[in-house]
Amino acid sequence: MQGSTRRTGIMTDVHRRFLQLLMTHGVLEECDVKRLPKHCDKVHDCNATVEKPEDFINNINSVLESLYIEIKKGVTEDDGRPIYALVNLATTSISKMASDFAENELDLFRKALELIIDSDTGFASSTNILNLVDQLKGKKMRKKEAEHVLQKFVQNKWQGEKEGEFTLHGRAILEMDQYIRETYPDAVKVCNICRSLLIQGQSCETCGIRVHVPCVAKYLQSNSEPHCPHCNDYWPHEVPEVFDPEKERETGMSRSNKRSLRSRQH
Amino acid sequence: MSHASKRRRCVLEEGSETQSVLAVVEEDTSSSSTCSSSFPSSSSSSSSSFYPLILSSPEEELNDPSQGPSQNPPSSFLSPTAVASPMSQSEDGSSSQKEESLSTSEALPNAESLPRNVINDKVADLVEFLLLKYRTKELTTKAEMLNVVIKDYQDHFPEIFREALECLQLAFGVDVKEVDPSNDSYALVTTLGLTCDGMMSDGETMPKNGILIVILSMIFMEGDCVSEEKVWEVLNVMGVYDGTDHFIYGEPRELITRVLVQEQYFEYRQVPNSDPARYEFLWGPRAHAEICKMTLLEFLAKISGSDPRAFPLWYEEALRQQEERAQSGITTTDDTSAMASESSSAPSSSFCPE
């Protein structure tokens, strides 16, 4: 029909399965992208060559393009793990959450989001969030309820929690990028190295630029003398090692450990 | 590349001035569009039905790199063609000049007078809406779809619906099944077979099929619903205990009440009015869609050393399902034979009919 560019074979059940899982889980990690095709091939006993993760994702995206949907790749801000989320390019609101949450709950999220973005650390304390409960639109919410709602945000991977403080989950950063940039154009922070949205990171004490921890880790990887990428002044913060998926498999760390946001630097 | 020439052809067919303006913009775009042949043409109603799915993405169409797609939500496409829409619905023609130019393309069947990009956008909206229903496992109705998504284009619902269905099946492996014809309600289920599973747990993937078929069989034998206590009784015989990690299945409660429920194989619900709360398992929508009761029965018969006809009630039930499927023309991916070979080690004692 259209000559040699016919790509009927592109979408297989493996790709579809990945999309279904991505929709159910909200966000998936790179090891999932690698593991799924291997498993399906084993079961089907077929000799199909397993695609590299980038090709796997790109193939799916080429099919989803006309639906204004895209699988976006990001990196967790605290430990640099590659993650994937399904992003709708045509909407600019927090509409994906709208199906799971009531009006007052969505407003709580927005209020918390604003606190997180305005903060220096990328975290908002639960006390500060709960104090805004009276200002919420919709049905009146008590603080006890609000605590539950915050936990729901964490379970659904919209927020992360650490020691009573809340930040944005990598999934929310990916899916709401547009929304955040448009709603908080002045308060929003951007990483000096990768130019993406920045919620948690380190900053230079001299020139004030901000960077993601994984970004600066990569940048300073081979450098014995850590310095600011912008002003070259000495970089005073502790910089962890670059995330290495191979190393993680060796140490056999369970994934449930990794799921909670444990920032290595304070 | 052939893709560009196809677009031109579309312009000539539609014959509308506004459409040609948009098409000119499309043609100026680079050939970097990779979505040209993403959707194979499976029906003879030809490539035109896939056309909206292979039109360029929003950023290409507007030819303006500074305007990200988010700033041009689908509704913006409607502005040049908003004028066209009321006309597309009145095919009688009237004195308006624009209408005359539209109706000159008489080669078109009536249903296609709506511009392609508008249909494209509506299909995308409907797909997003239905995917949401899939994720939340809610039913939807035609009325809901019309109100929330289709809105002004109600006459074109069949076309938009059909294309959205194809999209869902091809890209996501999700099917829209009619649940209740009397009120046009639909459920969203996956069409992928059991063999494509295995990503839900930590660590290595595990063969869930064995335990799945055991429980599905129990539900089938009990008549569509089995109590949780009975399920654990049977699992205990297999050496699977609540609260104890099994070397194959992992933590069984997590598996059967959460993982397999999330995958739509089971429904796990509280027995109505039970106090203290007791729970029961039912077949989930995916089990209904994928599993053929006859094959299940044959498997059960085999491991108990008898014949499906030896279980008249179940045999009847399985026959009924076959008939229903034949009538609605459903072809399911039936992996129960694959399951059967994997699970042949299940103890036959649990399946002895009373």
Find the helix or strand (DSSP H, E) in which A152 lies: helix A143-155
The domain A188-246: what is its CATH number?
3.30.40.10
Cβ separation B47–A21 shorter than 8 A: no
Nearest in space to A63 (alpha carbons), one of A20, A1, A12, A4:
A12
Shortest distance, CA B190 to any CA of chain A (angstroms):
8
Higher pLDDT, A166 or B3: A166
Q: Is B230's pLDDT higher than 60?
A: yes
pLDDT in tens, B334-352: 444 444 444 444 343 333 3
DSSP state of B332: -
User: What pLDDT is recorded for position B248?
Assistant: 72
The answer to which of A103-107, B92-96, B233-237 has the lowest mean pLDDT is B92-96
* Amino acid at residue number B247: F
Mutate which of A29, A68, A71, A253 to disrupt the B interface (most B C-beta within 10 Å)?
A: A68
What is the rounded average pLDDT of the residues B120-125?
89
* Portions of chain A given CATH number 3.30.40.10: 188-246
Cβ separation A20–B174 shorter than 8 A: yes
ipTM over 0.85 threshold: no
Query: Which tokens in the block code for residue A116?
Result: 């997180």
* Amino acid at residue number B224: D
Q: CB burial class (10 A; 0-12, 13-18, 19+) of residue B208?
A: buried
Shortest distance, CA A188 to any CA of chain B (angstroms):
18
Report phi then psi at A73, rounded to 5.
Answer: -100, 135
Indicate the fold that domain A94-184 takes in CATH: Arc Repressor Mutant, subunit A (1.10.10)
User: What pLDDT is recorded for position B329?
Assistant: 60
Q: How confident is the model at residue B112 (pLDDT cuts 50, 70, 90)?
A: low
User: What pLDDT is recorded for position B293?
Assistant: 78
The answer to which of A30-44, B17-31, B100-114 has the lowest mean pLDDT is B17-31
Residues β-bridged to residue B282: B225, B267
Pick A99's closest partner by Cβ from B52, B136, B198.
Answer: B136
Residue of A nearest to B6 (CA): A2
Q: How confident is the model at residue B75 (pLDDT cuts 50, 70, 90)?
A: very low
User: What pLDDT is recorded for position A43?
Assistant: 53
Q: What is the C-alpha separation between A109 and A162, in angstroms, rounded?
A: 17
The pLDDT tens digits along chain A (266 residues) read 333 232 334 788 788 888 888 888 888 888 887 777 766 665 555 555 667 788 888 889 988 988 889 999 999 998 889 999 998 887 766 777 887 888 899 999 999 999 999 998 999 999 999 999 999 988 899 999 999 999 999 988 999 999 999 999 999 999 998 889 989 999 999 999 999 999 999 999 899 899 999 999 888 887 778 888 888 888 888 888 888 877 766 665 444 444 444 433 33
User: What pLDDT is recorded for position A126?
Assistant: 92
Q: What percent of chain A has pLDDT over 90?
A: 38
Q: Is A102 on the interface with B (CB under 8 A)?
A: no
Q: How confident is the model at residue B90 (pLDDT cuts 50, 70, 90)?
A: very low
Indicate the fold that domain A13-91 takes in CATH: Aspartate Aminotransferase, domain 1 (3.90.1150)
Contacts of A43 in chain B (CB under 8 A): 195-196, 198, 338
Matching residue, tokens 């043609």: B27
Query: Which tokens in the block code for residue B288?
Result: 């209904």
Q: What percent of chain B has pLDDT over 70?
A: 55
Q: Is the peptide bond before B115 cis (omega within 30 degrees of 0)?
A: no
* Portions of chain A given CATH number 3.90.1150.220: 13-91
Cβ separation B195–A254 shorter than 8 A: no
* Portions of chain A given CATH number 1.10.10.10: 94-184
pLDDT in tens, B250-281: 788 888 888 788 778 888 998 888 888 899 99
H helix runs in chain B, sequence order:
2-14, 17-28, 51-54, 58-62, 78-82, 84-89, 97-103, 116-136, 142-145, 157-167, 209-222, 228-237, 252-254, 260-262, 285-290, 293-303, 312-328, 336-342
The region, left, alpha or beta by phi > 0 then psi within -120 to 50, assigned to residue B5 is: alpha
R_g of chain B computed on alpha carbons: 26
Contact in structure between A82 and A29 (CB atoms under 8 Å): yes
Mutate which of B172, B188, B245, B332 to disrupt the A interface (most A C-beta within 10 Å)?
A: B172
Shortest distance, CA A264 to any CA of chain B (angstroms):
23
Q: What is the C-alpha separation between B354 and B348, in angstroms, rounded?
A: 13
